Amino acid sequence: MERIPLFPLAAVVFPESAFPLHIFEERYKTLVNNSLKNQTHFGIVLNIKSKLKDIGTAVYISDLIKRYDDGKMDIIVTGTKRFKINSISDGEAPFYIANVDFIEDVNDILSQDLLESTIELFNEIASSVSIINIDKLNPNDLPNNTPSYYIAQKCGLTLEQKQEVLEKMTENQRLLVLRKHLQELLPMVREAETISKIVKYDGYYKPKYFRH
């Protein structure tokens, strides 16, 4: 068990991911300054509907972008490992202190078929969208052990879905959540693209072979 400062947010940070933060509250200025001075990590945990989730991610400050005259800061934090909160202390510091256990994945063999089908769905969605440019996933660029965390950052998940991914205990479980989300998203993207084309052409949808 370890004691770490807590930074509740309306956000989910995944291990191995970078996340920007603007620090403006006095208590979190203190937390961040302590972390910078002592080179220690702190925990980011989802605060939704005024309730803290039990599982969060420990982060370290990977970059101090800017320090303002009034003490506010722009920083980048990078996720390291997940933790489960056992208890929270309030009053001994300006911010929460939590007793946590760090958690690791249950041993499992990554399903290459599951990974490939998830990537294919994502790339199909990327190809279907014309309004903005979405970079396709290159399997060679994904982390070997936990590609799901990388994919999850790009899938347009809700906070609840991100938390669900974070709480899964195997890579395959996380990929199943992502694949299901992408399967549900694909037809909606196609429909939205069709509607945008109808609007663009004054109410008439022009297939590619009719365009000049």
pLDDT digits (tens, 9 = 90+) for 140-198: 889 888 999 999 999 989 999 999 999 999 999 999 999 999 999 998 888 865 545 44
Neighbours of 178 (CB within 10 A): 25
Chain centre distance of CA 82: 13
Tell me, what's the pLDDT at 212? 37
Nearest to 182 by CA among 147, 157, 207, 200: 157
- 139 and 98 in a single domain? The answer is no
Please say which residue of 48, 72, 103 terminates a domain: 103
Three-class secondary structure of residue 145 per DSSP = coil
Number of folded domains that form the chain: 2
Percentage of the residues of the chain whose pLDDT score is greater than 90: 74
Tell me, what's the pLDDT at 203? 43
Residues in the chain predicted with pLDDT less than 50, given as ranges, are 195, 197-212
Please say which residue of 78, 103, 128 terminates a domain: 103
Tell me, what's the pLDDT at 132? 72
Please say which residue of 75, 103, 131 terminates a domain: 103
- 98 and 7 in a single domain? The answer is yes
Q: Domain range for residue 93?
A: 2-103
- 133 and 93 in a single domain? The answer is no
- 122 and 33 in a single domain? The answer is no
- 123 and 147 in a single domain? The answer is yes
What is the distance between the alpha carbons of residues 128 and 192, in angstroms, rounded to a whole number? 10
| The Cα angle at residue 176 between residues 152 and 137, in degrees rounded to 5 | 45
